[in-house]
Amino acid sequence: MNAFVVSGLIKRRAQLAGDIEKAHEALRRMVMDLENLDATILQFEPNFRLEAIKPKAFRPPKDWSNRGEMTRICLSILRLAAEPLTARDVALQLLTERALNREDQRLLRLMTKRVGVALRLQKEKGVVQSQQGPGQYMLWSLNR
């Protein structure tokens, strides 16, 4: 049985090493393309400051989560919380768990809205409850 396990591990390692090589090659191509674009920009505008061009941030697609995944993550975050949380607090934790940029305000607003929708749907089902929080914020917690 040990031989089968080792054989499978060797095969998986070879696949992973191949994937890494492929990713490195793709990265090399992207760097070359970027250098070519920079050279072309400078041909047309020799004094242009290329460092002024900010990289576009990764934006997850609108359907970035599988059906029900948003709800599962929100409920998991509330389950571990010591106190009721705002939708924004849940969204910040979600971004952290997903290794997404917490500083991206547009992404944070989008995720806060999506968290709010997921929590309101769960409130209708009686899974979570809300109470008035500071200002106009609602505090969310699991029904226990």
Give the mean pLDDT of 75-82: 91
Beta strands per DSSP E along the chain = 128-132, 138-142
Cα dihedral value 118, 121, 126, 127, nearest 10: -20
The residues, ordered by sequence, that sit 6+ positions from 43 with a Cβ below 8 Å of its Cβ are none
Based on DSSP, count helices (H) and strands (E) in the chain, helices before strands: 4, 2
> pLDDT of 15-65, one tens digit each?
999 999 999 999 999 999 999 999 999 999 999 999 988 887 666 555 555
Q: Cβ(84)–Cβ(131) under 8 Å?
A: yes
- The mean pLDDT value of the chain amounts to 88
Query: Quick one: pLDDT at residue 64?
Result: 56
Query: Quick one: pLDDT at residue 11?
Result: 93
